[in-house]
Amino acid sequence: MRRRVLQLLTGLVLYGAGCALTVRAGIGVDPWTVLAEGVSARTGVGVGWVTNLIGFAVLLVWIPLRQRPGVGTVANILIVGSAMQGVLDLTPPVEGILWQLTVCLVGIGLVAVASGLYIGAHLGPGPRDGLMTGIHHRWGLPLFLARGGVELTVLTLGWALGGTVGVGTVMFAVLIGPLVHIAMPLLDTRPRDARPRVISAGGTGASPTRA
């Protein structure tokens, strides 16, 4: 349990740091961060703090979906946005397209590793991931449709509010799934014989866009 808690906390801090780097790159971010940026632009509240508030709001939606939060869910709401805001406060904007691409890639890589850490701890899903699975179980929608529909809605709303959509958004969408797929089995805390078998063809996977 000690290892799982430490892995969870490390993963959540790294997740926030990775998201902060994609924001600093300035060439587009993941859908939920687009929404956080948009709300931040309208309210003047820091992107990281908005991320925490959005996480709490999403958790309230779990109630009609009959989802149950875990320790990791609550920690996610408190830590990811706080770590994100801390890194944003300490780092300047990035200039030059090569540096922007590099910083964005580093941020995406951090998010992937962080996802493997916090998911592998098995202490509860993040509020946004729980929303997707809750819709899937409550109404029987395929997971990819539940995720795609929610993220497209979030992306559109965030963009309308002033969030950053660009090549970084596309990079995140293309890279995060394969990278998390690599990270998850490497960082899973369960014994190998207790892990579910991975379907290499014909299956569907869910890679998180936000913890």
Specify the pLDDT at position 210: 54
Specify the pLDDT at position 192: 63
pTM: predicted TM-score of the whole model, two decimal places = 0.86
Instruction: Give residue-wise pLDDT tens across range 107-145.
Output: 999 999 999 999 888 898 889 888 888 888 888 888 888
Specify the pLDDT at position 92: 93
Specify the pLDDT at position 204: 32
Closest C-alpha to 180, from 99, 112, 80? 112
> 16 and 83 in contact (C-beta within 8 Å)?
yes
Specify the pLDDT at position 199: 36
Specify the pLDDT at position 51: 97
> 52 and 79 in contact (C-beta within 8 Å)?
no
Question: Which H/E stretch holds residue 139?
Answer: helix 127-139
Specify the pLDDT at position 139: 87
Specify the pLDDT at position 187: 87
Low-confidence ranges of the chain (pLDDT < 70): 190-211
Specify the pLDDT at position 98: 96
Domain boundaries, the chain: 2-194
